[in-house]
Structure 1
């Protein structure tokens, strides 16, 4: 703006008309008066106060943002701790579940072994009973066969005369006795 005034002044000095007859000069003069009034009415101070207020608001927002960041970091640390605790608890649950599963498998094996032993004993008992029954049946069959054979031999070798002699001997033994 000052350059404009100087150029107008130089133009007037080199053969132009009066300096105040130029519209540019009047504009420059009006601007200078306007700026002087602004300075006299303390507009820069008001502008500075407005800027200071805005700076204070920005500082407050920055401090709030910093506090929010600290709160967020605190929450993050808290949730990381909770996550670590949850992971630890999950590991413990898994270990307990595995131990219980191993115990169940061991118990199942023991139960199966005991069941097999009971079934084996039952089978052996049945076999022994079947052997005893078969042995009894063989003895009965052998006794019957021997009785039948003896009866046949006696029937073949003894006649009525021999039977009479045996009966007489039995009666005599009873009579003595």
Structure 2
């Protein structure tokens, strides 16, 4: 407190109020009145401890700023941690996506190979079925041609025999045929 009063007195001693002409300690000297008002004002400020209140307010403000800075650092650290987690998750998801794509490719290739094998099997089966049908058709055609040839031969033989043989020869031929059949059956 004494140091403050000494500082105020030194400030007043160097003021232009001391340079005024005439008696300084007169109520008619405006410089003296201003000096007295200033001293009373400073006294009131010191009496009500305004400088310490201002100091406390500034200290409180400084503590608030420090707390805000600490909160900002904490939030920044938290944001950096969240960002690092995000990047790690993104790399993991990218790895999973790459694995899924690779697996899908492998499965697609396997399915394509299986489809090729199935198609080849189906073609082979159809080809075999077609060959079987062709073979059956050939067999049926040969049988039909034989039957037709037999019928034509029998008709021709009947006609030729009918012209060459008489009714007695026919009866004898029938008897011989019956005997041949009987011999073959016994």
What TM-score does the superposition give when structure 1 sets the normalisation length?
Answer: 0.78
Alignment of 1:7-156 (within 5 A): 8-13=17-22, 20-39=27-46, 42-156=49-163
Whether contact under 8 Å (1:12, 1:19) holds in the other structure is no
Q: CA-atom RMSD, angstroms? A: 3.3
CA contact (8 A) 1:19 1:25 kept: yes
Unaligned runs of 5+ in 1: none
TM-score (norm 2): 0.74
Dislocated runs of 4+, deviation >3 Å? 1-5, 8-11, 16-20, 22-25, 36-43, 164-167
State how far apart, in whole Å, the 1-side matches of 2:166 and 2:13 are: 179
In structure 2, runs of 5+ residues without a counterpart are: 1-10
Quick check: 1:9–1:19 contact (8 Å CA) kept in 2?
no
Higher relative contact order (CA 8 A, sep 6+): 1
Q: 1:28 to 1:158 in 2, by over 3 A?
A: same
How many residue pairs match? The answer is: 169
